[in-house]
């Protein structure tokens, strides 16, 4: 994916770290034990002397707390690098114990569900996908599809559900993360669906649920370009338009799970109909269904012709590349609306970086130079450096891997809060 931004010195054999690279200051919300674990996790491998210098703690505290983490089975001692010119004994380093726990991350989607299984060190052990009919579903059908996906994943990894400590799920819509209640999702027939209760009634495993854009943001924060950034935004364009944002190294969700719904901010009163039922949403001009809706006219396709959105969009893009003015106009119009949405992100949050991701970012019209210039012109940033924008063409599995970050975070905090017997 990306080169690891943690500086490993000459230790080329050290495992790749994962998790956000947090600054030392302003971390009094977690215990010193957890700070030590997170430092080692992010570094991949670290000596106790590295820990004491990075966290500004005494050697005695580092020794005591790392001994506790070793006793809990979360860290282990390994042989470090040989000293310069091979003199002296190699120093002892610490690293995360991969087999301490295992988690599953799942991305539920309109067409294909994906899943990833990782160990406690963040290593991907297996992945799986499940093609699903593009229809709204009741909870029981979603749970059945998740069971099928998990079974395939466990079979591929040679694991059983008893070896899984937690599962995390990302899906589009409005999600109340603390309760696992899905207030609204475009592929559920009902509102206020308690996905957590439904899943845990079938499996004796903790389930954590969040908006899928948040999961992709966690993927960037834990494994990608956001590891060493304090503030950044991720905007996704696929079946819908999503957004996640990190503020002061933490994923921001809002108070009721309704924050950061960029796709449902209004860009035109009484405008195009959105799949949420309202009009004028940004998503109604950018998402798959919005482009496909206009493509039927641009390509002179009868509305009665049954085609998948994917095939329609591919045909539209091919026509645009061949110079079809109507097709080009559709993408250019979408790009103008995208510039409005991005300028609002810049104006509201002033992020260090905006990451554009999702399947639709294969269409270069949406990130053409003109779109970036329009975004800049719509912000009050004259005389200042523009907010950088990067295009990350992730595949489907990265969303599921972001879900594993949520699961790993939850089980780590729980494990470190336990009183060791």
Domain stops at, among 38, 73, 96: 96
Residues 85 and 107 placed together within one structural domain of the fold: no
Residues 29 and 83 placed together within one structural domain of the fold: yes
Is residue 340 in some structural domain? yes
CB atoms within 10 A of CB 358: 25
* Of the candidate ranges 170-174, 269-273, 349-353, 390-394, the one whose mean pLDDT is the lowest: 390-394
Mean pLDDT value of segment 110-115: 91
Domain stops at, among 75, 96, 117: 96
Residues 72 and 116 placed together within one structural domain of the fold: no
Q: In what order do the strands lie in the sheet with 174-176?
A: 174-176, 181-184, 193-194
Angle at 282 between CA 110 and CA 386, to 5 degrees: 115
Mean pLDDT value of segment 26-45: 86
In angstroms, what CA-CA distances link 170 with 165, 241, 401?
17, 14, 10
Angle at 163 between CA 117 and CA 95, to 5 degrees: 70
Q: Say what the pLDDT of residue 2 is.
A: 33
Is residue 83 in some structural domain? yes
Mean pLDDT value of segment 109-128: 95
In angstroms, what CA-CA distances link 19 with 12, 16, 232, 268, 281?
19, 10, 15, 39, 34
Residues 152 and 197 placed together within one structural domain of the fold: yes
Residues 167 and 295 placed together within one structural domain of the fold: no
Residues 69 and 181 placed together within one structural domain of the fold: no
* pLDDT at residue 389 tops 60: yes
Q: Say what the pLDDT of residue 382 is.
A: 73
Q: Which residues contact 333 (CB under 8 A, 6 or more apart)?
A: 285
Look-up of token digits 């796709």: 263
State the burial class of residue 294 (Cβ atoms within 10 Å of its Cβ: 0-12, 13-18, 19+): buried
Is residue 225 in some structural domain? no
Is residue 320 in some structural domain? yes
Q: Which of 397, 413, 239 is nearest to 310 (CA)?
A: 239
Domain stops at, among 63, 96, 129: 96
3-state secondary structure of 82: coil
Is residue 224 in some structural domain? no
pLDDT in tens, 359-378: 777 788 788 888 999 999 99
Q: For residues 48 and 66, what is the distance between their CA atoms, to the nearest angstrom?
A: 8
DSSP string, 312-374: HHHHHHHHHHTT-HHHHHHHHHHHHHHHHHHHHHHHHH--S-EEEESGGGGSGGGG-HHHHHH
Residues 26 and 68 placed together within one structural domain of the fold: yes
Q: Say what the pLDDT of residue 133 is.
A: 86
Whether residue 40 contacts residue 16, with contact meaning beta carbons closer than 8 Å, is answered with no
Q: Which residues contact 147 (CB under 8 A, 6 or more apart)?
A: 202
pLDDT above 70 covers a percentage of the chain that reads: 89
* pLDDT at residue 202 tops 90: yes
Residues 256 and 182 placed together within one structural domain of the fold: no
Both tokens assigned to 277 = 């039922």
Whether residue 14 contacts residue 44, with contact meaning beta carbons closer than 8 Å, is answered with yes
Q: How confident is the model at residue 6 (pLDDT cuts 50, 70, 90)?
A: very low
Query: Hey, which of 58-72, 88-102, 255-269, 372-386 has the most confident mean pLDDT?
Result: 58-72
Is residue 186 in some structural domain? yes
Q: For residues 233 and 392, what is the distance between their CA atoms, to the nearest angstrom?
A: 12
Is residue 226 in some structural domain? no
Q: Which residues contact 330 (CB under 8 A, 6 or more apart)?
A: 291, 294, 295, 298, 316, 320
DSSP 404: H
Residues 244 and 338 placed together within one structural domain of the fold: yes
Domain coverage including residue 130:
100-218+398-417
Q: How confident is the model at residue 394 (pLDDT cuts 50, 70, 90)?
A: low
Q: For residues 407 and 404, what is the distance between their CA atoms, to the nearest angstrom?
A: 5
Beta strands in 85-240 (DSSP E): 92-96, 102-107, 112-119, 124-131, 166-171, 174-176, 181-184, 193-194, 206-211, 232-237
Residues 245 and 329 placed together within one structural domain of the fold: yes
Q: Say what the pLDDT of residue 421 is.
A: 54
Report the domain count for the chain: 3
Q: How far is CA 197 from the centre of its chain?
A: 23
User: For the chain, how far is it from start to end, CA to CA, in angstroms?
Assistant: 40
Both tokens assigned to 161 = 């559900």
Is residue 223 in some structural domain? no
Whether residue 102 contacts residue 408, with contact meaning beta carbons closer than 8 Å, is answered with no
Q: Which of 171, 119, 176 is nearest to 145 (CA)?
A: 171
Q: For residue 129, give the CATH number of its domain.
A: 3.30.420.40
pLDDT in tens, 241-296: 999 999 988 899 887 766 688 999 999 989 999 988 899 999 999 988 898 888 88
Q: For residue 10, give the CATH number of its domain.
A: 1.10.10.10
Q: For residues 17 and 26, what is the distance between their CA atoms, to the nearest angstrom?
A: 22
CB atoms within 10 A of CB 208: 21
DSSP 224: S
Residues 268 and 379 placed together within one structural domain of the fold: yes
Look-up of token digits 């998790």: 19
- DSSP alpha helices (H): ranges in 177-224? 195-200, 212-223
Residues 201 and 317 placed together within one structural domain of the fold: no
DSSP 148: H
Q: Say what the pLDDT of residue 24 is.
A: 43
């Amino acid at each position: 994916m990306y080169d690891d931004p943690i500086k490993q010195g000459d230790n080329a054999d050290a495992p790749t770290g994962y998790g956000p690279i947090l600054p030392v200051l302003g971390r009094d919300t977690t215990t010193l034990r957890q700070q030590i674990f997170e430092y080692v996790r992010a570094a991949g491998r670290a000596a106790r002397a590295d820990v004491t210098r990075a966290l500004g703690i005494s050697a005695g505290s580092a020794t005591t707390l790392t001994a506790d983490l070793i006793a809990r089975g979360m860290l282990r001692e390994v042989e470090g690098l040989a000293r310069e010119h091979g003199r002296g004994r190699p120093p002892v380093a610490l690293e995360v114990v991969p087999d301490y726990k295992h988690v599953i991350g799942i991305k539920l989607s309109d067409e294909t569900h994906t899943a990833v299984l990782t160990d406690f060190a963040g290593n991907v052990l297996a992945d799986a996908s499940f093609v699903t009919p593009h229809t709204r579903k009741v909870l029981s059908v979603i749970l059945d599809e998740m069971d099928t996906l998990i079974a395939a994943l466990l079979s591929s990894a040679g694991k059983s559900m008893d070896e899984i400590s937690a599962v995390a799920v990302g899906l589009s819509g409005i999600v109340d993360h603390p309760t696992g209640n899905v207030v609204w999702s475009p592929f559920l027939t009902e509102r206020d669906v308690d996905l957590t209760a439904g899943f845990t009634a079938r499996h004796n495993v903790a389930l954590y649920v969040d908006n899928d854009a948040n999961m992709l943001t966690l993927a960037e924060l834990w494994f990608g370009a956001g590891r060493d950034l304090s503030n950044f935004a991720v905007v996704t364009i696929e079946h819908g338009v999503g957004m996640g944002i990190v503020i002061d190294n933490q994923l921001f969700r809002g108070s009721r799970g309704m924050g950061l719904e960029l796709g449902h901010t209004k860009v035109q009163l009484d405008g195009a109909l959105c799949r949420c039922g309202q009009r004028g949403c940004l998503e109604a001009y950018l998402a798959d269904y919005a482009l496909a809706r206009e493509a039927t006219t641009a390509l002179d396709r009868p509305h009665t012709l049954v085609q998948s959105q994917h095939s329609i969009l591919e045909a539209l893009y091919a026509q645009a590349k061949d110079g079809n003015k109507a097709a080009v106009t559709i993408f250019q119009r979408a790009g103008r609306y995208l510039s409005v949405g991005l300028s609002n992100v810049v104006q509201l949050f002033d992020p260090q970086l905006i990451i554009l991701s999702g399947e639709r970012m294969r269409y270069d019209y949406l990130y053409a130079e003109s779109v970036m210039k329009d975004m800049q012109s719509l912000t009050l940033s004259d005389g200042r450096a523009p907010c950088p924008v990067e295009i990350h063409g992730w595949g489907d599995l990265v969303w599921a891997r972001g879900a594993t970050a949520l699961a790993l975070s939850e089980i780590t905090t729980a494990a470190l809060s336990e009183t060791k017997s």
